[in-house]
Structure 1
């Protein structure tokens, strides 16, 4: 049996939620690709060769032939047009608009709340500089995720009955939040985020469904397995 044709190269860093999104999309769609894992400790994403692909020096980058695409949501949209058999942006105009609405809601109103105010301080070691501010941010997390809990109380996925780009965009950032929520610093500061699934049961059930999706295990950040 012949090996599938590989048309894409994906440049990524383990633990980048934005690269993880694209890996999930590729895996869920069953699209083969050449994996180009970058070592951020060696600043490989700042090398002249990589800067030629993305002047911003960030992952992910998807290289297809002579074209290099960056920005995770743009890459997922490209993949959906290039490989439409497993649609991530719907099959009708109405579905398409609704999915983009959900993607935009997460990107504009939820992502930075999680990433900038909680995940980065805990990962980079400055969370304890202002525990009061961290606790205030942690309290706001539940408000920021409220629209997701409501949507998932009505349907199994963020935009309806099927996995879409909205779910794939949101999942890595939520998983990053869950990972840092159980760190000793987070527990010591009583952020209360380690019980996220219990406080938001519909979101917790969604996370379980997403962890069972096709391609999830292959895309899981390898350094998290250590």
Structure 2
């Protein structure tokens, strides 16, 4: 086990999951430092020393600590370039960062703020019509991904890249919360994205068979 890397993470955090996927896909060993939600809420001085923002993931390497999931993936890609996630040419590099930015800036927040958080916090049924409008907006936000995946197997082309790893956990989280009884009762229609977005559905199947996926799958989701 390579003691140079320690990863601090929480099961089910899509941002920590991104880094676990990148590590697994690249075949980079690390020491797992799983935290529970109570530990994270306490934000011990030792953890705040690693990340003053008090959030996971954190990758400790030697005496330094990195946080912010995409920054960690970029670091790993520079440190372990044999399995590239940000391309090998300038054009590929720019295309991948474009896709990462599209997901982060125009897609992810809609899921997190308007759908995932209300369902996780028990507020979704306060206004079912608003939730249905948000679900329709989610499909609109996924439209660019469906178009991209209709033209190529992965978001930035023919190879799996950081863009796919960044997007996958948030979409899997969306699918998970959309399968809750209250979401089904409100007819959000997000539990089976592949039925309306077949290219996205095929991509999800490919991503679920990627190297490192099973090892990174949130442990508490298996129960």
Task: Calculate the TM-score normalised by the size of structure 2.
Answer: 0.98
Please, which runs of 5 or more residues in structure 1 have no aligned partner? Answer: none
| CA distance 1:149–1:40, shift in 2 (3 Å) | same
> Which of 125, 145, 148 is matched with 2:145 structurally?
148
Q: Could you say which residue in structure 1 is the equivalent of 2:214?
A: 217
Please, which runs of 5 or more residues in structure 2 have no aligned partner? Answer: none
Q: Could you say which residue in structure 1 is the equivalent of 2:34?
A: 37
Cα RMSD for the two superposed structures? 1.0
In structure 2, how many angstroms separate the alpha carbons of the residues matched to 1:50 and 1:71?
A: 14
In structure 2, how many angstroms separate the alpha carbons of the residues matched to 1:202 and 1:166?
A: 16
Aligned positions of 1:3-22 closer than 5 A: 4-22=1-19
Aligned positions of 1:40-189 closer than 5 A: 40-43=37-40, 46-189=43-186
In structure 2, how many angstroms separate the alpha carbons of the residues matched to 1:68 and 1:45?
A: 19
Write out per-residue CA displacement over residues 103-137 of structure 1, whole angstroms, 9 at most, x where no aligned residue: 00000000001111111111111111111111100
Contact preservation (8 Å) 1:45, 1:51: no
In structure 2, how many angstroms separate the alpha carbons of the residues matched to 1:12 and 1:45?
A: 14
Q: What is the Cα deviation at residue 6 of structure 1?
A: 3.3
Q: What is the Cα deviation at residue 44 of structure 1?
A: 5.9
Write out per-residue CA displacement over residues 172-201 of structure 1, whole angstroms, 9 at most, x where no aligned residue: 000001101110010111111123111000
In structure 1, how many angstroms separate the alpha carbons of the residues matched to 2:34 and 2:212?
A: 17
Q: What is the Cα deviation at residue 41 of structure 1?
A: 2.5
In structure 1, how many angstroms separate the alpha carbons of the residues matched to 2:44 and 2:27?
A: 30
Give every structure 1 segment of 4 or more consecutive aligned residues whose post-TM-superposition deviation is greater than 6 Å.
none
Q: Could you say which residue in structure 1 is the equivalent of 2:204?
A: 207
| CA distance 1:217–1:204, shift in 2 (3 Å) | same
In structure 2, how many angstroms separate the alpha carbons of the residues matched to 1:199 and 1:46?
A: 41
Write out per-residue CA displacement over residues 111-164 of structure 1, whole angstroms, 9 at most, x where no aligned residue: 001111111111111111111111100011110000000000000000011110
| CA distance 1:44–1:65, shift in 2 (3 Å) | farther
